[in-house]
Amino acid sequence: MPYENLRVERQDAIARITFDRPKVLNALNRKTMEELDACLDEAARDDSVRALILTGAGEKAFVAGADIGELAQRTPVDGKEFSLYGQSVLRKLETIGKPSIAAINGYALGGGCELALACTLRIASRTAKLGQPEVKLGILPGYGGTQRLARLCGRGVAARLVLTGEIISAEEALGIGLVNQVVEPAELLPAAEALAGKILANAPLAVRYSLEAIDRGLEMPQEQGLFLEATLFGLLCATEDMREGTRAFLEKRAPQFKNR
């Protein structure tokens, strides 16, 4: 489906979603969130899509946040509604059952940083800048930033970035675990594709349930998370791909996974 503010391209099993409003540094307006919502539904339905890469159009920004022009008009009631809606779209991305990689090519601020946080993994260009500057606008990160940043990088890091609104470099983001890897700008998309390729070489159901165990497990006490892990482990023992993966190892050959 063609979108106004997103570009979606396919490369084999990878769908690349590019946020494409370069005049406003790819800021997220309502239309863009609705398009992302629809695009994720499409990706979820399409079994041939097995990984997502999210990036920004142009050289300057991944996504510079929610659209401040729209934000300025929010009332208390629709501000809450819009925050909940955006959270639900990012939760859809997080729980789609397919790994997503944020290829952060420039500014990832506010809602843009929160978008990256909802992805499974994050690779940044050396020139990228990240931060949660919402407090400078009199708001707080309303797309899950206070929750995901604290879970990913710890309470101290979240408090520092959210309360100061400070914008940090890709290298610093790497140091605090906010991104997984930093590469030269020209290497960003190839690195994201290579990372997706490494995941796609593995048994699809094993990848899917691993993601589920990590994501749902984080919401549970460890005892229950361990039980979930064992249950999903047992489920994978019933798959053809588990037989194939273990047999291929013992026969010293590459496995042929079938997503069954």
Instruction: Give catalytic residues, as residue numbers.
Output: 114, 134
Q: Applying CB under 6 A, does 22 fall inside the site for ligand CO8?
A: no
- When the beta carbons of 99 and 111 are compared against ligand CO8, the nearer one is 111
Nearest to 232 by CA among 97, 114, 142, 111: 97
Alpha helices in 22-181 (DSSP H): 30-45, 68-71, 76-94, 111-118, 145-153, 155-164, 170-175
CA pair distance 229, 236, nearest whole angstrom? 11
**List 3, 13, 24, 215, residue binding ligand CO8 (CB under 6 A):** 24
Supply 77's token pair.
């009631």
Site for ligand CO8, residues 61 to 100, rule: CB under 6 A: 64-69, 71, 79, 82-83, 86
Which range touches ligand CO8 (CB under 6 A), out of 37-45, 109-117, 174-182, 208-216? Answer: 109-117
The single residue listed with the structure tokens 């919401």 is: 219
**List 109, 178, 199, 207, residue binding ligand CO8 (CB under 6 A):** 109
DSSP state, residue 179: S
Cα–Cα separations (whole angstroms), residue 64 to 132, 190, 213: 10, 23, 31
**List 25, 36, 116, 213, residue binding ligand CO8 (CB under 6 A):** 25
> Which residue(s) pair with 102 in the sheet?
54, 122
Residue nearest to ligand CO8 (CB): 110
Site string for ligand CO8, 120-159 (x = CB under 6 A): -------------xx--x---xxx----------------
Residues within the interface to ligand CO8 (CB under 6 A): 24-25, 27, 64-69, 71, 79, 82-83, 86, 107, 109-111, 133-134, 137, 141-143
